[in-house]
Amino acid sequence: MAASLLLLLVSCIAFLSSSSEAYDYPPLVNGLSFDFYKSSCPSLKSIVRKHLKQAFKNDVGLAAGLLRLHFHDCFVQGCDGSILLDGSAGGPSEKDAPPNLTLRPAAFEAINDLQALITKACGQVVSCADIAALAARYSVHLSGGPKYKVPVGRRDGLSFATRDDVLSSLPGPTFNVTNLLDAFGKLDLDADDLVSLSGGHTIGIGHCTSFENRLFPSQDSTLDQTFADNLYLTCPVANTTNTTVLDVRSPDTFDNKYYVDLLNRQGLFTSDQDLYTDSRTQPTVERFAAKQSLFFKKFVFSITKMGQLSVLTGNQGEIRSNCSAINSGNKLLSSMADGEGGSNAF
């Protein structure tokens, strides 16, 4: 009797905390709000949730693909959906993109599928950049992570991300903390944002080419030996196409185990492990490893900051009818805005 009462109490508390969304958010950029589509598309969130819940049942890795897609969209010329355009470097059509830029084709398909469902229900009112932000949020939550609110009202950009844009904006897996702080600092993201957002690596996979700098020509001294032995089984020689999980403890669950990995010298990339090696970020790694609720709280704050980077709002940009292409009426405009038209010659 007492046990079942306790169980009831525990599940009530679990219910309350999962539905309360009691997180701190940074100030919202002008033009974004939590209820932007309240009247124009009241079913938006339930459409995204329902579709992704089913899609993740068939392909658990899709959640990681969608989270990473939103990160790349925001870091490369702002969260404006430019990464979604066919022909955009870093997109699925860029055949010779380096492996560190590979985004899953299934993630792009999921955004287009979501857009079709949303347009059917509400008309052409929701931007692709917002769909990407919402998809990332449901990826986090449906994988076990925090349930947070996403400010919406972003508009879609009119220009492609070039290969140079992508290479210059995205931090690489061989970056140390100094390099990472530089890359994040350029976007007004600080050391806490760096550590909490790197926690995105609690789900998903990486290719050998993204971490073989730690195996060849010689083993990185910060690698745990058993972990290193396993990596050599996955990547026996340099330049293979094999992959492994980013979070060895719970590869498909959004939790704080990524930080526990770092404490055990089992981070996959230099950019992961150095967060623990470097004294500037080590204390935060330790705090997140010890307390998942603190990680969730900081992650929500930082991803909301990231999700507002250089957004287009109001009359800027457009609402795309196809997330993979600029609306035809705006194509001329965008090639004129690009001047000679040479920079986007794909």
Ligand X SMILES: *[C@@H]1O[C@H](CO)[C@@H](O)[C@H](O)[C@H]1NC(C)=O
Question: What single-letter amino acid sits at 192?
Answer: D
Residue 78 known to bind ligand: yes
Is 180 a binding residue for ligand HEM by CB under 6 A? The answer is yes
- Which residue in this structure is represented by tokens 């939550």? 141
Q: Site for ligand HEM (CB under 6 A): which residue of 41, 48, 150, 203? A: 203
User: Closest approach of Cβ 174 to ligand X, in Å?
Assistant: 6
Q: Site for ligand HEM (CB under 6 A): which residue of 44, 51, 61, 159? A: 61
> 187 — phi, psi (to 5°)?
-105, 15
Residues contacting 281, CB < 8 A, separation 6+: 177, 191, 194, 195, 274, 275
Question: Which of 51, 70, 72, 207 is the catalytic position?
Answer: 72
C-beta closer to ligand HEM: residue 156 or 272: 272
Residue 234 known to bind ligand: no
234 contact choice in ligand HEM, ligand X, none (CB below 5 to 8 Å, kind-dependent): ligand X
For 7, 26, 248, 277, the CA distances from 259, given in Å and listed in that order, are: 30, 24, 11, 12
> Nearest Cα to 223, choosing from 257, 256, 248?
248
Is 216 a binding residue for ligand X by CB under 6 A? The answer is no
**Element containing residue 245 per DSSP (H, E):** strand 243-245
Is 110 a binding residue for ligand HEM by CB under 6 A? The answer is no
**Element containing residue 54 per DSSP (H, E):** helix 44-58
- Which residue in this structure is represented by tokens 């492609």? 160
201 contact choice in ligand X, ligand HEM, none (CB below 5 to 8 Å, kind-dependent): ligand HEM
Residue 113 known to bind ligand: no
Question: What single-letter amino acid sits at 312?
Answer: L
C-beta closer to ligand X: residue 222 or 313: 222
Is 226 a binding residue for ligand X by CB under 6 A? The answer is no
72 in catalytic set? yes
Is 233 a binding residue for ligand X by CB under 6 A? The answer is yes
| DSSP alpha helix (H) spans, 217-264 | 225-234, 257-263
Is 307 a binding residue for ligand HEM by CB under 6 A? The answer is no
- Contact region for ligand HEM (CB under 6 A) — 89-97, 194-202, 225-233, 334-342? 194-202
Dihedral-angle region of residue 317 (phi above 0 means left; psi in -120 to 50 means alpha; beta otherwise): left
Residue 94 known to bind ligand: yes
CA–CA separation, 217 and 237 (whole Å): 10
Q: Site for ligand X (CB under 6 A): which residue of 179, 213, 219, 264? A: 179
Count of alpha carbons within 13 angstroms of residue 20, beta-carbon side: 10
Q: Which residues are annotated as a binding site for heme b?
A: 201
Interface with ligand HEM (CB under 6 A): 61, 64-65, 67-68, 71, 99-100, 102, 104, 171-173, 175, 180, 197-198, 200-201, 203-207, 210, 246, 269, 271
Q: Kindly list the catalytic residues.
A: 72
Q: Which residues are annotated as a binding site?
A: 73, 76, 78, 80, 82, 94, 171, 201-202, 247, 255
